[in-house]
Amino acid sequence: MSMLKIKNFSKVYKGGKKAVDKLNLTVEAGDIYGFIGHNGAGKTTTLRAIAGVLDFEEGEIFIDQKSIHEKPIACKQVMAYIPDNPDLYEHLSGIQYLNFIADLFQVDKQQRSEQISKYADAFELTKNLGDSIGSYSHGMKQKLAVISALIHKPKLMLLDEPFVGLDPKAAHLLKGFMAELCNEGSAIFFSTHVLEVAEKLCNKIAVIKGGKLIADGTTEEVKGNQSLEEVFMELIEDFK
Amino acid sequence: MKMILRLTKVQLGSALDFISLFRKKNTKPKNKSVSLIFLMTGILFALISGAYSYIFGLSFQMAGQLTLLPGFMMAVVCIVTLTMTIYKVKGTLFGTKDYDILMSLPVPTAYIVASRILLLYCINFFFTAILAIPNMIIYGYLARPPFGFYLRFFFALAFVPLVPMILACVFGILAAAIASKFRHSNLVNTILFLILILFIFSVSFQMQQEGQIAVLGDVLTRQIERMYPLAGMYIHGVVEGNFIQLGAFLAISGSAFVVFCVIIGKLFLKLNTSITGVSTKSNYKIKEYKKTTPFRALFFKEIKRVFSSTIYFLNSCISMILMTIAVLVVIIVKPEQMIQILQVPKMMSLIKQMMPFLFAILVGMTFSAACSISLEGKSLWILRSVPVDVKTIFKSKIAVNLILVLPLLTINTILIGVFFELSILEFAVTFFIPVLYSGLVSIGGLLLNLKFPLLTWTNETVVIKQSAASMLTSLGGMLCGIIPILLLTIFSIPAKWIFAGTALVVGLLILLFWKLLITWGIKRFESL
């Protein structure tokens, strides 16, 4: 069952810049789907459009069989999105922010307590939850954003460069939580520049260049006998 | 000097980017409507300054004290500069987003400090010119001074904002430094600022009172000099052509500026670290949590946002606080004066008729909703990505605006109702007319913010005090309150028709704006 289906998605910004050009992609339940490409290739635009944060006119995007245009609330209810540099509410404390997000997703009290406890302990952020987000380092904000995405057990998780700013232990933990989520039937679609992580973690890869999809499929199909880095460099050269 | 000017130019460009007039090609597109609004607001303030100067000029002329007019306006300009600059200390002088980058460069700290102070000066000079030049024109028209006055005026104009700017910076630094020692530093900062703002208001109110009394002789001069000594030097120097006094004015202003720059330059690193530090306890333990509805969650998030920012809180609540103080002054402090005024024929009925609209004007100046979208800034992605419909988000922002008004409005209406022995109908009108205005300003402000959003701000002062949405909402709110007063006083239309007409018009506008908000507004929010 497809958790995410992108059909002929295109996005043109004001001034005529075409950021994404007729993108077609499907993410099934259980997939950890890596989305790789050079800077400005269209990764963030795609992720934001799926998350319902960016409006678009061409194409369609379906989350759990529902159109993001026609049923945005229902789509967002089953999703979690973390942008590449999550600007959070600095006037709230960590726990206030988590409760705020949990309220908006209508997470019940018990699940909320369990999830916050589990993830905050794992990321060693528990003792800082009472402090204001304004006092957090970048990495702590990133961890808090990840926790807020996990507490409502999303069916589809969208992450834009999630490992940037995380210390090695937190990055390792995040990979573990991503795998755990997918084993429970969810799907993850994330962009990254760290090709080794994509190679080890993802069962499927898509490569985007200049807004166009130039390769997609299982990790084995995409990289063949080479490393992902070698394949990526070749693909970027071929499509110049 | 070249490096200081270079740094100032870059920072000025960034600070004024929201006006967009100065944007080069191939950068962000120019927003002509925002630039036009900014221009029109400047013109409007200039016209208000001119009208204010003319009214006071005539009073001074009758008292044979016309030479006091420029000094009086200079004192007013200083109060405005003081009030506006204290908010900018944190965000323009300290705690700026480019602090790390600049301080890591091989540039002397003193240059960085000088460029920041020059940036503040440039912004203040702009407002000084808007207020002072119309005053000069009016004085020129009434007094026909010699050509030398105009030369001295323009020369001294550059020095006028210096001392009030420095005083504001000193207060802002002290307040921020004191507040940073406390866990709830924002609350402490807000209380200190509130005390200062109330003090400034009481001084300017006293100035207006004494300016309106056309007193012969030296009494008025001495009163102005007592309130602001530099104003006296300004009068003697610029208006009367006393070069020693003019020299003293320039020397005091200029040297205060230089000394301030030198001192702050030496203490900049220490002050910045102290002011921008955030207290942490790092001892949180997981508890049991309560679940609430999305509307309540959004509402409490918005309320915390208002109270987390000194300038947002003061800008949103100061008019209601002033309303309460005015009511208490009338009732408790000076009941005998009030009773004397009320014994004047028809005064009682005039006050009862105007009260709803006076309250409405103050209520109209509480417009937290008008900057609530812009203040989401780079965090807007959170509201865009959560499963909450946009109408609920809008309702929470409107609800916050209303809750900032209703409690104090209720208390003030009850107090005034008891003191003036209002009938039930009069009480209802005094309460419900301002409530309608609050609804209008909340919904209208939100619409304007959607039309003119400013999401890429680095200093929230720009959003709260200088954005197109804030300026238009405050002007619109005031005008809506002034029009019925004019109809009541100048055109002598019976009060019951004014009340009914106002309630009908404002009610219809609320319905129209609400419809616009849930149709165009939602689409607009989704496209941001």
B355 near B482, Cβ under 8 Å? no
The span from the CA of B161 to the CA of B234, in Å, is 12
Q: What mean pLDDT value characterizes chain B?
A: 85
Q: What is the DSSP letter of A156?
A: E
The span from the CA of B294 to the CA of A100, in Å, is 8
Q: pLDDT by residue (tens digit) across B76-87?
A: 888 888 888 887
- B26 lies within 8 A of chain A by CB: no
- A240 lies within 8 A of chain B by CB: no
Q: How confident is the model at residue B274 (pLDDT cuts 50, 70, 90)?
A: confident
Asked if A105's CB is within 8 angstroms of B291's CB, the reply is no
Residue A181 identity (one-letter amino acid): L
Q: Is a pLDDT exceeding 90 seen at residue B25?
A: no
Q: How confident is the model at residue B26 (pLDDT cuts 50, 70, 90)?
A: very low
Give the per-residue SS3 of B268-308.
Answer: HHHHHHHHHCCCCCCCCCCCCCCCCCHHHHHHHHHHHHHHH
Name the token pair of A158.
């969208």
Q: Is a pLDDT exceeding 60 seen at residue B334?
A: yes
> Residues of B with CB below 8 A from A114's CB?
none
DSSP per-residue letters across B11-38:
HHHHHTGGG-TTPPTTSSPP-HHHHHHH
- The whole-number average pLDDT for the span B353-373 is 93
Q: What is the DSSP letter of A93?
A: B
- The whole-number average pLDDT for the span B93-118 is 81
The span from the CA of A15 to the CA of B25, in Å, is 12
- B284 lies within 8 A of chain A by CB: yes
Domain extent listing, chain A: 2-78+155-238, 87-153
Q: pLDDT by residue (tens digit) across B91-101?
A: 778 877 778 77
How much is the pLDDT for A35? 96
The span from the CA of B519 to the CA of B92, in Å, is 38
The span from the CA of B507 to the CA of B224, in Å, is 45
Please report where in the chains the tokens 């005064």 appear, as a residue.
B347
The span from the CA of B432 to the CA of B441, in Å, is 14
Asked if A79's CB is within 8 angstroms of B381's CB, the reply is no
B241 near B234, Cβ under 8 Å? no
A99 near A113, Cβ under 8 Å? no
CA–CA min distance B512, chain A (Å): 26
A43 near A206, Cβ under 8 Å? no
> Residues of A with CB below 8 A from B284's CB?
94-95, 126-131
The CATH code belonging to domain A2-78+155-238 is 3.40.50.300
Integer Rg of chain B from CA? 25
Q: In chain A, which stretches have pLDDT less than 70? A: 239-240
Q: Is a pLDDT exceeding 70 seen at residue B31?
A: no
Domain extent listing, chain B: 2-276, 294-527
Q: Is a pLDDT exceeding 80 seen at residue B210?
A: no
Which among B281, B290, B387 has the least Cβ separation from residue A104? Answer: B387
CA–CA min distance B89, chain A (Å): 19
The span from the CA of A78 to the CA of A157, in Å, is 9
CA–CA min distance B10, chain A (Å): 25
**ipTM associated with this complex:** 0.88
Q: Is a pLDDT exceeding 70 seen at residue B376?
A: yes
Q: How confident is the model at residue B212 (pLDDT cuts 50, 70, 90)?
A: low
If contacts are CB pairs under 8 Å, which of residues 79-98 in chain A contact chain B? Answer: 79, 81, 83, 86-89, 91-92, 94-96
Least confident residue range of A140-154, B327-341, B480-494: B327-341
Asked if A116's CB is within 8 angstroms of B289's CB, the reply is yes
Share of chain B above pLDDT 70, in %: 90
| Nearest Cα residue to B386 out of A182, A215, A29, A74 | A74
- B526 lies within 8 A of chain A by CB: yes
Query: CB under 8 Å to B445, separation ≥6 — which residues?
Result: B367, B368, B369, B370, B371, B401, B469, B473
* Helix/strand/coil percentages in chain A, nearest 5: 40, 25, 30
> What angle do the packed helices B390-419 and B294-308 form, to 10 degrees?
60
The span from the CA of A168 to the CA of A151, in Å, is 22
Residue B400 identity (one-letter amino acid): V
- A113 lies within 8 A of chain B by CB: yes
Q: Is a pLDDT exceeding 70 seen at residue B345?
A: no
| Nearest Cα residue to B294 out of A132, A101, A127 | A101
- The whole-number average pLDDT for the span B481-507 is 89
- A209 lies within 8 A of chain B by CB: no
- B280 lies within 8 A of chain A by CB: yes
Which among B285, B290, B379 has the least Cβ separation from residue A109? Answer: B290
The span from the CA of B174 to the CA of B86, in Å, is 11
- β-pairing, A79-82 with A156-160? parallel
DSSP per-residue letters across B319-385:
HHHHHHHHHHIIIII-HHHHHHHHTSTTHHHHHHHHHHHHHHHHHHT--GGGGTTGGGGGGHHHHHH
Q: Is a pLDDT exceeding 60 seen at residue B217?
A: no
Sheet with A79-82: strands ordered across = A79-82, A156-160, A187-191, A32-37, A204-209, A212-218
Q: What is the DSSP letter of A184?
A: T
Give the per-residue SS3 of B326-341.
Answer: HHHHHHHHCHHHHHHH
Kind and range of the H or E run holding B407: helix B390-419
A147 near A98, Cβ under 8 Å? yes
The span from the CA of A21 to the CA of A3, in Å, is 22
How much is the pLDDT for B29? 54
If contacts are CB pairs under 8 Å, which of residues 285-324 in chain B contact chain A? Answer: 285-286, 288-294, 296-298, 300-301, 304-305, 308-309
- A120 lies within 8 A of chain B by CB: yes
The span from the CA of A177 to the CA of B308, in Å, is 34
- The whole-number average pLDDT for the span B30-34 is 65
Phi, psi of B214 (to 5 degrees): -80, 95
Strands, E assignment, B127-263: none
Which among A15, A89, A109 has the least Cβ separation from residue B289? Answer: A109
If contacts are CB pairs under 8 Å, which of residues 361-380 in chain B contact chain A? Answer: 377-379
If contacts are CB pairs under 8 Å, which of residues 169-208 in chain A contact chain B? Answer: none
Q: What Cα–Cα distance (Å) separates residue B145 from each residue in B77, B138, B139, B217, B245?
A: 21, 11, 8, 20, 18
A84 near B381, Cβ under 8 Å? no
The span from the CA of B511 to the CA of B508, in Å, is 5
| Nearest Cα residue to B365 out of B479, B207, B209 | B479
Sheet with A18-28: strands ordered across = A18-28, A2-12, A58-63, A66-67
Which among B29, B379, B387 has the least Cβ separation from residue A87? Answer: B379
The span from the CA of A137 to the CA of B81, in Å, is 36
Contacts made by residues B1-9, CB under 8 angstroms, sequence distance 24+ = B3/B107, B3/B111, B4/B111, B4/B114, B4/B115, B4/B118, B5/B115, B5/B118, B7/B102, B7/B107, B7/B111, B7/B112, B7/B115, B8/B115, B8/B118, B8/B119, B8/B122
Q: Is a pLDDT exceeding 70 seen at residue B268?
A: yes
| Nearest Cα residue to A92 out of B3, B309, B520, B209 | B309
| Nearest Cα residue to B295 out of B384, B392, B380, B404 | B392
Kind and range of the H or E run holding A104: helix A94-104
The span from the CA of B66 to the CA of B54, in Å, is 11
> Residues of A with CB below 8 A from B301's CB?
89, 92, 100
Q: pLDDT by residue (tens digit) across B238-265?
A: 888 899 999 999 999 999 988 998 888 8
Q: Is a pLDDT exceeding 50 seen at residue B149?
A: yes
CA–CA min distance B141, chain A (Å): 51
Question: How many residues in chain B?
Answer: 528
Name the token pair of B511.
């319905």
Q: Is a pLDDT exceeding 90 seen at residue B415?
A: yes
- A2 lies within 8 A of chain B by CB: no
Name the token pair of A57.
């006119």
CA–CA min distance A221, chain B (Å): 33
The span from the CA of B80 to the CA of B127, in Å, is 9
Q: pLDDT by residue (tens digit) across A149-180?
A: 999 999 999 999 999 889 999 999 999 999 99
